[in-house]
Structure 1
Amino acid sequence: RVGMAAQGRRRMLLFGDSITQFGSKVDPLGWATLLQDLYVAQKRSVDIVNRGFSGYNSRWGKLILPSIIEEHRSSPPVLTTIMLGANDASVESCRQHVPLQEYKQNLEDMVMMLRTSWPESIIVLISPPPLDAATWDANKGGVGSGQRELVRAEMYARACAEVAAKVSCPLLDLFSILHKEEGWERHLSDGLHLSASGNKILFEVLIEKIRNEFPSLSDETLPMDFMYHGDIPEDDPASVLGKR
């Protein structure tokens, strides 16, 4: 699993909705940005590829996943995260809503697609976070208010966990991780998306999971892409820099 991708540097793929897409923000500092800082800026070992699609649910995500798989066909990711469900959990009248059983089937189908296409890639399911409906509705200014509820977010988070158990897929239960804390609402920037603290928590628990369960992909284990500049022999750099 630690071998270099078929072409170029190793990569990790983050697939999901706006909580993944916004993970590449710098204000608030996103979880994908923190991953990039660690694996690219500090360690120079893995590229972080963000494929988050704001507003998408699992139904639409499943439809675009084959294109993403094809995009990385020659260089499969060493690890892929899937975080969908926040939009699926909208009330039935919302166009983004996906029924619970279909959501579970969609997640299962996507895991199987990835396993078939990238058998060496580790897949991690991440549950949708809790929802602060009052803050979300207030930020929406009354437009589309009442379409999201904490109890529904919890239902879909539990469904994600059930799928992970069924298909023996590693799980990060972001809902439970955040919701168990007193004042958990502070981990959401607008009631739905992660704040700086929420992003930091997701980054930290994901790194902890990688280090503990997949140590070969840990930032502490993976070798640097090409050698440290101080080790390059001055008399014959081509002897060590001709290939990875």
Structure 2
Amino acid sequence: MAKPYNQIVLFGDSLFQFSSEIKEGFSFQGALQSHCMRYLDVINRGFSGYNTTNALKLLPQIFLPPSPSNPKIEYLLVLLGANDACIDLPTNNQKVPIEQYKENLIKIITHEHVKAHKPKVLLITPPPLDEIRIEVLDLAKGHPQATRQAANSAKYSETAREVAREVPGVTLIDLQDAIMEKAIALTPGVTKSSSPPLGYPGGQRGALEQFLPDGLHMSGMSYKILYDLVEPHIGPFPEGESVFPDWKKMNPVAI
């Protein structure tokens, strides 16, 4: 029987689906795979448009218990909430109420199919939102107003933080705070206490436009921030103990 690699699974929405792409010369999934090459496979289960209700519904089909033919999940990265945080509109039905969002997140990371693998769970907050840019693009698409609001999206990020604090063994990756901190640092005259914050109505986009070109999806710069947050939690891997042997063991030198 073939010897499978154990896995790192990226579970989420378009923010993970698009992480396989090369943006400004950087690919999050590619960099992560390079980091754990010969030890783990990086499996992308990001689904554009999905909210936590969608993800939870399909979870039993996506995550099967470990078996000889189904590799063990060593790390599970969960990034969901950008779609849950949509507002109620006749033209959009992705919204999940914040209380349900929290319940769904807990059910996902504690699901029996997930727990069977005993993975290290990294729960990632949704990134910040540039509502200024979102509104322009959403109006052009025929929506009566912006489908997402920066202040509301920030509440969903805070809810993800709450889940990480409340569920034992879960590691928080605070992507929202990290991207905002970097954008503020690159925007002259703006601080954490500035009001309104970057991306909020009445304010400015500032450097946030470099990290969220369409107001929602991440640039290569944002994915690099995410990688730098995640990488310290993956590994270390024992030298010389990869799934298949080193070439020097395959081709020993006769002495």
Q: In the TM superposition, what is the alpha-carbon distance from 1:30 to its structure 2 partner?
A: 3.0
Corresponding residue number in structure 2 for 1:113: 111
Which of 30, 33, 36 aligns to 2:33? It is: 36
| TM-score, normalised by the number of residues in structure 1 | 0.82
Q: State the partner residue of 2:102.
A: 104
1:21 CA displacement: 0.4
Distance 2:34 2:137 in 1: 30
Say yes or no: does 1:51 pair with 2:75.
no
Q: Which residue of 2 aligns with 1:240?
A: none
Identity among equivalent positions (%) equals: 29
Give the match for residue 213 of structure 1.
none
Aligned length: 222
Q: Distance in 2 between matches of 1:89 and 1:108?
A: 17
3-state DSSP of counterpart to 1:163? helix
The one of 231, 236, 242 aligned to 1:207: 231
Seen in structure 2, the aligned counterparts of structure 1 residues 116 and 148 have a Cα distance that, compared at 3 Å, is closer
The residue aligned with 1:136 is 134
Aligned to 1:75: 71
For residues 224 and 181 of structure 2, what CA distance do their matches in structure 1 show?
16
178-187 or 74-83, which deviates more: 178-187
SS at match of 2:245: coil
CA–CA separation in structure 1 for the residues paired with 2:213 and 2:240: 33
Cα distance in 2 for partners of 1:78, 1:35 equals: 14
Aligned counterpart for 1:23 among listed residues 19, 39, 47: 19
Equivalent in the alignment of 2:175: 174
TM-score for the superposition, normalised by structure 2: 0.79
Gaps of 5+ in 1: 1-5, 211-216, 236-244
Distance in 2, Cα, partners of 1:189 & 1:220: 39
Deviations 1:180-220 (A, max 9, x none): 2212342113111110100011011100233xxxxxx2357
Unaligned 5+ residue runs, structure 2? Answer: 185-206
